[in-house]
Amino acid sequence: MKFLAIVFTALFAATACYAQLSTSKLFGNHMVLQRNHNIPVWGHSDKKARVTVIMNGQMVAAKADDNGDWSVTLPPMKEGGPYVMNVASGKELISYSDVMLGEVWLCSGQSNMEFQLKNAYGYKAEQKVADKMPVRQFHVQDKVSLTPEKEVAGGEWVLASANTVGDFTAVGYFYAKQLAQNLHVTIGLINSSWGGTEAEDWISRETMAASPEFTAIVPNLPHNADELKLRADKQLKAWAYHNSPVVNYTPVELAGEPANFFDNWQHGYVPGAWEWNGKLYSYRGRGFMQRTLGLDSSYSSVSSTLSLGQTDADMAVYVNGKLLNKDATPGNTQFTVPAGTWKGGLNSLVINLQSAQKNPSWFGIGLNGTGANDLNIRFADTSVNLADGNWHVMPDLGKPYHFDFLPNNSAFSLYNSMINPLIPYAIAGVIWYQGESNADRAYQYRTVFPMLINDWRAKWKESLPFLFVQISAFGTSQSSNFGSNWAELREAQNMALQLPNTGVAITTDIGDAFNIHPKDKADVGYRLAATALTQVYHQQGFFQSPLFTSADFSNGYAMVNFNHAENGLMAKDIYGYVKGFELAGADHKFYYAQAVITDKNKVKVWCSAVPNPVAVRYGWTNAPLDANLFSIQGFPVSPFRSDSWDGITVGHKFE
């Protein structure tokens, strides 16, 4: 160490040239570097300049190229620290302190990975112990780009503490906490996630172009901002008008139209921003909303109050052609509906959203609120719920509008700006929580998800462990006969387990059917960690969710077999009943079925309505709330189906 310090000092003092030396923004104080792995370090300097990097007794040097780009590779080192990394060129010196060697994991996906600890269950308890947790995070700043970037938009390494841990990815934090406690090393998290994003956003252009699934599409995807605007505008008009000519509606005209006039408009959801409604994503302009209500004639002679939630957009509201007066009441946006406004039979409520949303934290126009409590019509003796999917929406293209540049406007825009700049930073692997935004194209996700995994592995030039969270429970429960895009997405996710070095955490039991962002992120992180500790770090005593392997049909029942259930299965029910199974015969019609655990890893399923079953399903709904089969260790069995019949997302493609 003393000799290297003398050599470094001599190099620093002897060189006279001056340059603007820098490293990638990923390197900095408090950073975590991957132990037992070659450690690439890179940056920029004067062209042809000699750059020297010294850390933990290791010294490496390189010569910058004609553009001033340089890179070196430190040899593998075991866990430890804190260390100082010195980077020098000519008279310039960069020094990073409190550098640790440990395990580095890339955390990526959409909002459930982005979900911050301060919004999760257990945050207050974690604040009290955060200072003792050897966990650090680098949060990659959000940015979109149509071309690959060399550098992240920004970020810094932050130590977990009572004041900072609330901003950590909640899933990543609980995952790191469990790893740190079992591996006894510092865990570094690189959090590169963005809510509401599709998997195609995170794949490189060249990989998509090489795929038969996308090769015809990629050349037509935008290359610049102008092409992006044209694409978004074309998609919006085709969606809103069903490929018919654009109509510039006026509020007065629409107010006088009968309720059935709006049947051809696209459906919308309340509460919710237009951002998440079809091709309205990134639309910034005005618009119309309509809701048809059937009322008894007794309500035509009484007054009522219309509550439209906590929207801050300017609006005009019409009931059966009559303009309503807005109340001065603070809080919810309320309107007085005089007696004689409603009528018996079908009524038409039309809202003209006359301005874009003024609150930048709320995405675009729409109606917000906490369900029926904030969005309703209140009569003296009853209340009518307006929080549902029975609305119609239409952008007002007769007024000025524009589109923000957001991830889902095109493919690969987040790979370019939030993944490419991370390569080749040495990492242990990836944890991934995404899929909700691909649910409508779940069948295609069978191709897209493995493509993403292989893409990243190719770019890092190693078979990185890739662990992912199966999307949770959200939405209304229903039988298999109605189909489920979320169930099909879970199936597509599990198919990626055919790739080596992959693992899954099942979370359907800890979801929230009424909230797409369930707050229990601790169990999610711990289940991911159990998979990592078992598969990646080869530790004993950790378990994973049972997965369906096969089903045998005979004598009027199905015998279902599972792996990861060697120690046995159990039903979480006070009476011991197994729930969540369905059976179908050759007619493809499913019926709820009875089930019982037989051997340790087998379940017998039967139903009197299906004397000759040929297919069995378990938890095959958006929100499988009744599914209650677990391993003895308390890990939920993954939803599955034994059949391969076409689902509701077959043929739905990325455009």
Q: Which helix (H) or strand (E) holds 203?
A: none
Two tokens, residue 610: 């299906």
- Fill in the amino acid letter for 608: S
Residue 329 is predicted with a pLDDT of 65
Q: pLDDT tier at 357 (50, 70, 90 boundaries)?
A: low
Q: pLDDT tier at 13 (50, 70, 90 boundaries)?
A: very low
The whole-number average pLDDT for the span 23-32 is 98
Q: pLDDT tier at 479 (50, 70, 90 boundaries)?
A: confident
Helix ranges (H only) for 2-132 are 2-14, 111-114, 123-129
Two tokens, residue 242: 């069903």
Between CA 108 and CA 194 the distance in angstroms is: 8
The whole-number average pLDDT for the span 327-353 is 89
Query: Residue 142: which of 155, 127, 158, 125 has the closest Cα?
Result: 155
Can you name the residues that pair with 23 across neighbouring β-strands? Answer: 43
Q: pLDDT tier at 655 (50, 70, 90 boundaries)?
A: confident
Q: Which helix (H) or strand (E) holds 548?
A: strand 547-554
Between CA 356 and CA 580 the distance in angstroms is: 44
pLDDT of residue 362 exceeding 70: no
Q: Which of 159-168, 196-205, 399-408 shows the lowest mean pLDDT across its residues? A: 399-408
139 secondary structure, DSSP code: E
CA-CA distances (angstroms) from residue 315 to 113, 283, 326, 327, 353? Answer: 35, 17, 9, 13, 5
Q: pLDDT tier at 19 (50, 70, 90 boundaries)?
A: very low
pLDDT of residue 379 exceeding 50: yes
Two tokens, residue 331: 């809080």
635 secondary structure, DSSP code: P
Residue 477 is predicted with a pLDDT of 74
Residue 361 is predicted with a pLDDT of 57
Between CA 477 and CA 177 the distance in angstroms is: 34
Please classify residue 608 by burial: count the beta carbons closer than 10 Å to its beta carbon, then call 0-12 exposed, 13-18 middle and 19+ buried. Answer: exposed
Question: How many other β-carbons are positioned within 10 Å of the β-carbon of residue 48?
Answer: 13
CA-CA distances (angstroms) from residue 520 to 109, 124, 235, 621, 636? Answer: 17, 14, 37, 20, 15
Residue 370 is predicted with a pLDDT of 82
Question: How many other β-carbons are positioned within 10 Å of the β-carbon of residue 359?
Answer: 11
pLDDT of residue 7 exceeding 60: no
Return the beta strands (E) in 425-563 as ranges. Answer: 429-433, 466-469, 502-505, 547-554, 557-563
DSSP 572-617: -STT-----EEEE-TT--EEE-EEEE-STTEEEEE-TT-SS--EEE
Report the top-level CATH class of 246-403.
mainly beta
Q: pLDDT tier at 467 (50, 70, 90 boundaries)?
A: very high
Between residues 353 and 514, the one the model is more confident about: 353
Two tokens, residue 364: 């675009």
Map out the domains of the chain as residue ranges.
Answer: 246-403, 547-637
Name the 3-class secondary structure at 555.
Answer: coil
**Report for 141-155, 322-336, 465-479: range of highest mean pLDDT:** 141-155
Between CA 216 and CA 207 the distance in angstroms is: 13
CB burial of 276-304 (b: ≥16 within 10 Å; e: otherwise) equals bbbbbbbbbbbbbbbbbbebeeebbeeeb
CA–chain centroid gap for 200, Å, is: 12
Q: What is the 3-state secondary structure (H, E, C) of 243-290?
A: CCCCCCCCHHHHHCCCHHHHHHCEEECCCEEHHHCHHHCCEECCEEEE
3-state helix, strand, coil in the chain (%, to 5): 25, 30, 45
CA–chain centroid gap for 259, Å, is: 37
Residue 359 is predicted with a pLDDT of 66
Can you name the residues that pair with 308 across neighbouring β-strands? Answer: 375
What percentage of the chain reaches a pLDDT higher than 90?
A: 84
Q: pLDDT tier at 12 (50, 70, 90 boundaries)?
A: very low
Residue 437 is predicted with a pLDDT of 94
Two tokens, residue 12: 């620093």
pLDDT tens figures, 207-263: 999 999 999 999 999 999 899 999 899 999 999 999 999 999 999 999 999 999 999
Straight-line distance from the first to the last Cα atom of the chain, in angstroms, rounded to the nearest whole number: 58
Are the C-beta atoms of residues 142 and 153 closer than 8 Å to each other?
Answer: yes
Between CA 149 and CA 417 the distance in angstroms is: 5
What percentage of the chain reaches a pLDDT higher than 70?
A: 95
484 secondary structure, DSSP code: -
pLDDT of residue 16 exceeding 50: no
Residue 417 is predicted with a pLDDT of 98
pLDDT tens figures, 442-462: 999 999 999 999 999 999 999
Residue 18 is predicted with a pLDDT of 44
Query: Residue 427: which of 383, 479, 465, 458 has the closest Cα?
Result: 465
Can you name the residues that pair with 50 across neighbouring β-strands? Answer: 63
pLDDT of residue 363 exceeding 80: no
DSSP 454-477: HHHHHHHTS---EEEEPP---S--
Between CA 193 and CA 180 the distance in angstroms is: 22
Residue 360 is predicted with a pLDDT of 59
pLDDT of residue 187 exceeding 80: yes
Between residues 358 and 58, the one the model is more confident about: 58
Question: How many other β-carbons are positioned within 10 Å of the β-carbon of residue 328?
Answer: 6
Residue 443 is predicted with a pLDDT of 98
pLDDT tens figures, 586-641: 999 999 999 999 988 899 999 999 999 999 999 999 999 899 999 999 999 999 99
Can you name the residues that pair with 608 across neighbouring β-strands? Answer: none
CA-CA distances (angstroms) from residue 422 to 24, 27, 83? Answer: 9, 11, 22
